Structure 1
Amino acid sequence: MTEMTGRQRLHAALLGQPVDRVPFAINAWQWYYAQKYRGTLPPEFADCQTAIQFHKKLGADVLTRWDGQIKGRAGLGQYVRFPRCKYTVEEFGEPMKMPIITAFNSYQKLNKVRRTLETPVGTLTQVWRFTPESCADFEEQFWVKDWERDYPALKFAVEDRSYDYEMSEYRRDLAEIGDAGIIMIEIPENPVKMLHWLMGPEKATLAMMDHLDECLEMFAVHTQKTLEFIDGVCARTSYDDSPLLMSNDNLDAMLMPPAWFDLVLFDHYHKVSERIHAHGRLFAVHSCGNNWDIRECIRDSGIDMMEG
């Protein structure tokens, strides 16, 4: 068989077609940024200025969900818009040794990122903190601290959220990847994961137990906005460049058990998979845990691939 390019190899593997070798599609983005931050990149990779360059020099088939993102990173997404609210993002805290990109944020000078959303019915704030010891960042403060106080603003934010289709980063990174691979397009997360981002897993779980009707109402709005985003990105991209649309859900049977899946996620995933398939694309979900107990739920809802 003729040697394939990374892009050809990944396309063939996704469709179950013959390949010249098993794709080597590692996810070493965080490793690269951590070594770069610490000054410990191996000498042969010291000249790599981006994670894409590193993966290409390593000989990997590039399958990225970090780079080229149209909605942007960090749960809500870098390019999220709230037409009826005032939304601000600012860095604060301690100086960074050097700028760094994580899976969720870009830290240019300081080690914390604060997002503030001023709605007509209340103000919500969120804080991320970069930790040098892990070279990763974590939510230090969630948007919703108290359900009774923050629910009106939460509901307003979910209903007001929209996205710019920011294509410049996508086109730039796609050009850098070339025929070495493809970009997975991240779509808005599933409704339960949305609540995890907004409240934290513990409070989100309690909210679904104590305020299910209110949650389901927000979830329906979120699903509709996800479908609209899918239509928008598929109209602006091609199958050849991005055959996979990925929901960054950290799907896990402990936090999203069969009962929650059947009650909330099945309908969402089924609608999302149908819409993605109607555009001729494939649907991936990010896995982050043991999914054995929801394996049949995953299969029946139309998800094509678990990514991790």
Structure 2
Amino acid sequence: MTIKERILATLKGEPTDALPFVPRLDIWYNANSRNGTLPAPYRHATLKEITDDLELGYHAIIPDFKDFINPEDGDLDVGIGIYHLKNHPYRLKLHNVRRTHQWTGDGILKVRYETPKGDITTTVVHNKEMKKNGITLYVIREHAIKSPQDYAAMAYIFENMEVIPDYSNYSQFQQEYIGDRGVAVALSAMWASPGHYLIKELMAFDTYYYEQYDNPEEMDAFIQQITPFCQKLFDAAINSPAEIILSGANYDASFTAPAMYEEYILPALRQQSEIAHSKGKFIATHTDGENTGLLELYKRSGFDLADSICPAPMTKISLEDTRRIFDGTCTIWGGIPSISVLEDSMDDVTFQRFIDQKFENLGRGDHLILSVADTVPPAAKFERILYLQKKAREFGPVMPSL
């Protein structure tokens, strides 16, 4: 089987010839390539060349957040959670808003949006240290919505943000770059719903919960105003040639509390999953945080792929317990905590004992695409990635009960 065939068969609960192992290596590669510390045989190789040579598969769920359509100004809207990426299944065009920007200090970007309803300002950071560590995602230092007075201006911005379905770059990425190396997941948005968008990108953590308590009607009215924009993003993604659509990312019980998830996220993911299934497609969401209290809600959401499940000892829930709760209703992509591949966290004997025990507890191994969660860290010991690959190959074939 090809790696793509293994992934899709796993999602369908069908047999595979081996346990799929598709680690996310982009941050590891970016950091080591920049610092000249790639393993000797691959010192001048591209990431695709490395994964091809090792037959690892190419992880194509989370996009490269620096692969802009236009490198000159593609990052101007990241403060409102908008990345103008080359391989998106859509393009976004802002109308009737004056946008100005200024770079200051070490990778600090300040942006002002002037609208008839008021002005919005954001500040984001992508500095030298982040680049050194292979990080491509910006950090928001100043959020767009700071008080209820900002709702009208933000709503105006989204009402004037045109969503243009465009599958040319995505199709080329899917067919020519990824091919059978993996599955080219199409990103709908890094938030799963308009309510999730608020806490994920637009508001600081404390602002969100103060607003939920102090101004719930105003906040819900704003959510309704931006719903059409969010729906257009999903429509563009679900109608693309992609087999899997990524909707939402970065849940954690500490800020996407179960009650918040149930009210603002679950209904959207359930509806998106129903639409996807009617088209023979799958919905993935990036569940990389502390999932205590959330796993049963994930099951009720109906999505197909929990990407980047990070188990104990980095979180409170073991891989075994996560698989037991999901009970074949959702495929896990992940399962190996990133600290296990770091020498300063586990010595070689402890690592092998830990991994061997995990494999002994996998049962049939169905509905699992093995990966290091959330991502392979820059300081990972390369030999441990190869050991994980060896164990995955030896585990197969995977024969779920059909």
Q: Same fold (TM over 0.5)?
A: yes
Sort the Cα spacing of 1:147 and 1:305 in 2 relative to 1 into closer, same or farther, 3 A: same
- Which structure's residues are more often strand, by fraction? 1
Cα deviation, 1:269-302, whole Å, max 9, x if unaligned, reads 2222222222221111111312230222211122
Query: Which residue of the partner structure matches residue 273 of structure 2?
Result: 273
1:23: Cα distance to partner? 0.9
Cα distance, 1:71 vs structure 2: 10
Q: Please tell me the residue identity of whatever aligns with 1:39.
A: G
Return the offset for 1:21: 0.8
In the other structure, the counterpart of 1:97 is none
The match for 1:77 among 80, 83, 87 is 83
Shift of the 46–193 alpha-carbon distance from structure 1 to 2, 3 Å rule, reads farther
Q: Which has the higher contact order (CA 8 A, sep 6+)?
A: 2
Shift of 1:22: 0.9
The aligned runs of 1:1-308 (5 Å cut-off) are 4-49=1-46, 51-67=47-63, 74=78, 75-78=81-84, 79-87=91-99, 91-94=103-106, 111-134=107-130, 135=133, 136=135, 137-144=138-145, 146-174=146-174, 175-188=176-189, 189-190=191-192, 191-196=194-199, 197-237=201-241, 242-308=242-308
Relative to structure 1, the CA distance from residue 90 to residue 13 in structure 2 (aligned partners, 3 Å threshold; closer, same or farther) is farther
- 1:90–1:235: structure 2 CA closer, same or farther, 3 Å change rule? farther
1:157–1:25 Cα change, 3 Å: same
Mapped contact 1:88–1:115 kept (Cα < 8 A): yes
Deviation at 1:233, TM superposition (A): 2.8
SS in 2 for 1:26: coil
Distance apart, 1:92 and its partner CA:
4.9
Query: Retained in 2: the 8 A contact 1:85–1:117?
Result: yes
CA distance in 2, matches of 1:71, 1:273: 28
Q: Which amino acid is the alignment partner of residue 281 of structure 1?
A: K
User: Structure 1 residues 10 and 91 mapped into 2: Cα distance closer, same or farther (>3 Å)?
Assistant: farther
- Distance in 1 of aligned mates of 2:44 and 2:37: 12
CA distance in 2, matches of 1:83, 1:288: 35
Q: Deviations over 1:143-195 (max 9, x none)?
A: 22x31442221222243334233434423432112211111111121334311
CA–CA distance in structure 2, aligned partners of residues 163 and 227 of structure 1: 10
Secondary structure of 2:239's counterpart equals helix
Query: How many Å separate the matches in 1 of 2:17 and 2:228?
Result: 41
Aligned to 1:108: none
How far did residue 90 of structure 1 move?
6.2
The percentage of counterpart residues that share the same residue type is: 22
Question: Pairwise CA RMSD of aligned residues?
Answer: 2.7
Cα distance in structure 1, aligned partners of 2:64 and 2:177: 10
Q: In structure 2, what is the Cα distance between the partners aligned to 1:272 and 1:71?
A: 26
Indicate conservation of the 8 Å contact 2:108/2:127, yes or no. no
Residue pair 2:287, 2:307 contacting (<8 A) in 1 also: yes
Letter paired with 1:193: H
Q: CA deviation at 1:76?
A: 1.8
Distance 1:53 1:143, change over 3 A: farther
- State whether residues 25 and 62 of structure 1, in contact with CA within 8 Å, keep that contact through their aligned partners in structure 2: yes
CA distance in 2, matches of 1:53, 1:124: 43
SS in 2 for 1:269: helix
Larger radius of gyration: 2
Cα distance in 2, alignment partners of residues 116 and 53 from structure 1: 41
One-letter amino acid matched to 2:20: P
Measure the CA separation in 2 of the matches of 1:228 and 1:27: 29
Unpaired runs of 5+ in structure 2? 70-74, 85-90, 309-402
Asked if structure 2 preserves the Cα contact closer than 8 Å seen for 1:80 and 1:163, the reply is yes
Task: Pick closer, same or farther for the CA change 1:128–1:83 going to 2, 3 Å.
Answer: same
Residues 246, 283 of structure 2: 8 Å contact kept: yes
TM-superposed CA distance for 1:88, in Å, is: 5.4
